[in-house]
Amino acid sequence: MILKFFNKNFYIILSVVFLIFIIDRLSKIYVINESTKNLSNYIYTSKYLNIRLIWNEGVAFGLFSFDNNLLYHSLTSIILIIILIIIYMVTKHVSLKRYSLILILGGALGNFYDRLFYGAVPDFIDFHINNFHWFIFNFADISITIGVLFMIILEIIDKSDYEKN
């Protein structure tokens, strides 16, 4: 029964999740090292893009940031439970939804790793137009966002199929 699970698809899924995780880790390590070497959080600045290291203790885009260790660890525990649920859902879905879940899982594991080992998630991609700055994010956040958008699109398409019947 368990051998049935470890098929070709399992290794493809594992490879994609690992690739997302590695790209995220390498980008964060590079930015952290550059920030340390330059003694500045600003690594690169331009008209529309800054690479600027900040440490995010909250959830997505710095939401729910707080100074309380109990709340931080509770939030981290909830994120672990969500990751386990996503792993379960990846194993159960055989449709296109599986791929959106894989993107979400890869990004979630990248940010979860940072929470465990750094106590915060390093964010560094800062898009801006003049003085309007979007939330600062990282590659794991990009993967999660694309996965969620893909999931929403699939839900809308599936919903329209149900309405036709």
Please identify every residue annotated as catalytic.
Answer: 123, 141
Buried b / exposed e over 55-66, threshold 16 CB at 10 Å, is ebbeeeebeeee
Residue with the two structure tokens 């999740």: 17
Q: Positive or negative CA dihedral for 83, 84, 90, 92? A: negative
Q: Positive or negative CA dihedral for 121, 45, 30, 37? A: negative
Which token pair is 159? 């919903």
Q: What is the DSSP string of 62-95?
A: GTT--S-HHHHHHHHHHHHHHHHHHHHHHHH--S
